[in-house]
Amino acid sequence: MVIWKFNLDVGVNALMVPKGAVTLSADTQQGKLCVWVLCDPQAPKVTRAYYAEMTGFEAERVAGTRFIGTVLLEEGAFVLHVFADEPMPRA
């Protein structure tokens, strides 16, 4: 298992991630919005949707997704809420 980083854009993102990957967190790195996932790099890749939405957005498209975190951009001028279309990790 390794931790991989993926960059996100505001809105809907379709990323190719290893099957079974678990999203650990969302934050910024060098001014770019990112998510980090724990994954098996040898697993087959699958498409997973990530959503980076501004405060006040219509939330219907994230219904049933997993909330990853809230991220502040540009010194708090923009607030994004990140969701992933993945199951909740087992405890």
pLDDT of the chain along its 91 residues, tens only?
999 999 999 999 999 999 999 999 999 999 899 999 999 999 999 999 999 999 988 888 898 999 999 999 887 788 999 999 987 666 5
Strand order in the sheet with 78-84: 11-18, 45-54, 78-84, 66-73
pLDDT of residue 91: 57
Using DSSP, state whether 59 is helix, strand or coil: helix
CA distance 74 to 82: 16
Q: Count other Cβ atoms within 10 Å, centred on residue 13.
A: 18
3-state secondary structure of 61: helix
